Amino acid sequence: MPLIAPSVLSANFLDLGSDIDMINNSEADWFHVDVMDGRFVPNISFGMPVIKALKKQAKKPLDVHLMIVEPEKYFEDFKNAGADILTIHYEASTHLHRSLQAIKGLGMKAGVSLNPHTPVHLLEDIIQDIDLVLIMSVNPGFGGQKFIEQSFEKVRKLKKMITDRGCDTLIEIDGGVNLDNASKLVEAGVDVLVAGNTVFSSANPSDTIQKLKQSAK
């Protein structure tokens, strides 16, 4: 069974507490928390105050996805805000190895995200140091976009790399995940499904989370 990480970006910010409780009481495994800076991506989301508030009420780990330039400046701040998993973008990291050690040194799991155009083979010499690879299956910046089909091939290639190297790196997929492609993604090697629009625009979000959880190989 895959891990399910509903994306808070699609929650109702006027009643965030209710959506946090819905996730707490559902079969979801993590909270997916998207941080955007208006520079790495053409959108701005939220930052430390919101994450701190989330952390107070969340009963599951915070999976924080940084879509920001110079992420290394803020590792400690995100740790203090409550991040359990901290994912940075390959494209925003000049010294990826150093950054991963710094994240782990602060006691968080370290993730690396790839934009749709970034090939997975670029991770060959660093895969053993990564706890989680987040494959972006849309261009980052917005929820509710259409899944890019080429992502399946990326997942398969990455899964092969991880298996060949004997690593325990998790594969997470983010963007356009729905009840139609979820099982096929798990079959291709995905361990963690992020879902924003699919969960929060559904009539029964908790039920949708359960359905995603049942996506089987």
Q: Identify which of 14, 116, 140 has the alpha carbon closest to the alpha carbon of residue 65.
A: 140
Q: Which is nearer to ligand DX5, 138 or 192 (CB)?
A: 138
Site size with ligand DX5, rule: CB under 6 A = 22
Cα–Cα distance measured from residue 68 to residue 77, given in angstroms and rounded to the nearest whole number? 14
Q: Does 143 bind ligand DX5 (CB under 6 A)?
A: yes
Cα–Cα distance measured from residue 204 to residue 55, given in angstroms and rounded to the nearest whole number? 24
Mention every residue, 6+ apart, whose C-beta is less than 8 A from residue 13. none
Distance in Å, CB of 80 to ligand DX5, minimum: 22
Q: Which is nearer to Zn ion, 126 or 142 (CB)?
A: 142
Strand order in the sheet with 192-195: 3-6, 192-195, 170-174, 132-136, 109-114, 85-89, 62-67, 31-36
Q: Which is nearer to Zn ion, 37 or 174 (CB)?
A: 174
Q: Pick from 11, 62, 171, 194 the residue near ligand DX5 by CB under 6 A.
A: 194
Q: Does 2 bind ligand DX5 (CB under 6 A)?
A: no
Binding site for ligand DX5 (CB under 6 A): 7, 9-10, 32, 34, 65, 138, 140-145, 174-177, 194-198
